[in-house]
Amino acid sequence: MSVSTLGYVVVESADLPKWRSFASEAIGLMEGAPGPDGSLRLRIDQRPFRIAVVPGSAERFLAAGWEFADEAALAACLDSLRQAGVPVAAASAADAENRAVRSLYRCKDPSGNALELYTGRHVDYLPFASPRGLSGFVADEQGMGHVVLPAPSLEETRAFYLQHLGFGDSDQMWLQMSPNPTDPKLGIYFMHARNPRHHSLALMGAPVPSGCVHIMLQARSLDDVGYALDRCIAQGIHISSSLGKHSNDMMVSFYAQTPGGFDLEFGCDGLEVDWRTWVPTTSLIPDLWGHRWSPPPQKS
Ligand code: FE
């Protein structure tokens, strides 16, 4: 019943041109054919989209789409959810078409994050080509990348993904966020799906107004990352974190604030793991070097 990959994320926006400018012009994602719902579809491989920006009235993260290899794997997940009393809704044929998949279901995790569970993703046969000359993405069978979701009900939410979606533990981190050592630490669980990416999902034990902490896309080269960083700075996009290297997945990345209010981590050289021999770790520091954080500018 294990989930295969993070297939996509869905974002709502009242300003699609701003997303187009951020994602295509600054980062270098390819714009695909628009969805039947008028969504801006952003490509990094031969999937019809990895980020769908749905026209709406708010700037917010809507859902993460989790891919299952076949109907049997999806059905096992749905059975597990229903037996535990989790409400699961079958999406309409039109909604499945909007997501470019054959079978689509929806539910929420114990922290209120929306999940879309699917199988039968469509293929876009037009080869990927970046409008900014990126060499390409580490995606395809490793999925879109990773998503970090707010999980105020941290332990319950972790158990949900382990039990019902078949995630496995990769790493955990406990960060002292205040100068007072007796304050509770912020916990983050990093979890993997059935692919070599170190984590497809992380859960952070705190609420986040935008509905997402960050999404991560992995480019093929450091030059892709460096040029994108320069373009973001030139466009006046807020750089939430400078270039740095994570201690657990070895990703070299920077973080830029998306028009949705959450961050995009844009990186390269992420760890690939053989899960047959992996022993989950506890990281004592988030970074080997870099990743200096800057608060977002205050809106007046
Ligand atoms: Fe990340």
Are 30 and 42 in contact, with CB atoms under 8 Å apart? yes
Per residue in 203-223, pLDDT (tens digit) is 999 999 999 999 999 999 999
Hey, CA dihedral for 143, 92, 63, 33, is it positive or negative? Answer: positive
Do the strands 239-246 and 287-290 form a parallel or antiparallel pair, or are they unpaired? antiparallel
**What pLDDT score was predicted for residue 297?**
80
Closest CA to 231 of 214, 256, 260, 261: 256
Distance CA 192, CA 211 (A): 21
Q: Ligand 1 mean position to 120 CA, how many Å?
A: 27
Q: How far is the CA of 15 from the centre of ligand 1 (A)?
A: 25
Residue 183 CA to ligand 1 centre (angstroms): 24
pLDDT at position 296 is 85
What pLDDT is attached to residue 299? 66
Residue range 144-173: mean pLDDT, rounded: 98
Sign of CA dihedral 96, 99, 103, 107: negative
- Provide the b/e sequence for 68-79 (b: ≥16 CB within 10 Å): beeeebbeebbe
pLDDT confidence of residue 15: 97
At residue 189, what is the residue type?
A: Y
Dihedrals phi, psi of 101, to nearest 5 degrees: -135, 170
The pLDDT tens digits of the residues spanning 53-93 come to 999 999 999 999 999 999 999 999 999 999 999 999 999 99
pTM: 0.97
What spacing in Å lies between the alpha carbon of 149 and ligand 1's midpoint? 10
Q: What is the mean pLDDT of residues 21-35?
A: 98
Confidence tier at 101 by pLDDT (50, 70, 90)? very high
pLDDT value at 35 more than 90: yes
* Average per-residue pLDDT for the chain: 97
Q: State yes or no: pLDDT of 164 exceeds 80.
A: yes
pLDDT at 300 over 90: no
**First and final CA of the chain: distance in angstroms?**
48
* Rounded Cα gap, residues 56 and 226, in angstroms: 32
Strand, coil or helix: 126: coil
Report angle CA 94, 98, 102 to the nearest 5 degrees: 70
Retrieve residue 12's tokens.
Answer: 């709502």
pLDDT band at 257 (very low <50, low <70, confident <90, very high): very high
Cα(243) to ligand 1 centroid in Å equals: 12
* Residue 44 pLDDT > 60: yes
CATH 3.10.180.10 fits 140-290, yes or no: yes
3-state helix, strand, coil in the chain (%, to 5): 20, 35, 45
Residue 79 Cα to ligand 1 midpoint, Å, equals 30
CA of 215 to the centre of ligand 1 (A): 7
pLDDT of res. 55: 98
CA-to-CA dists, residue 174 to 25, 190, 203, angstroms: 36, 11, 12
Percentage of the chain modeled with pLDDT above 90: 95
Q: What is the pLDDT at residue 1?
A: 53
What tens digit of pLDDT does each residue of 168-208 get?
999 999 999 889 988 899 999 999 999 999 999 999 999 99
For 5-119, which CATH superfamily applies? Answer: 2,3-Dihydroxybiphenyl 1,2-Dioxygenase, domain 1 (3.10.180.10)
**Is pLDDT at 138 greater than 70 in this prediction?**
yes
Whether the CB-CB separation of 264 and 210 falls below 8 Å is answered with no
Give the per-residue pLDDT at 103.
97
β-strands 168-175, 281-283 pairing:
parallel
Give the pLDDT score at 95. 97
What are the boundaries of each domain within the chain?
Answer: 5-119, 140-290
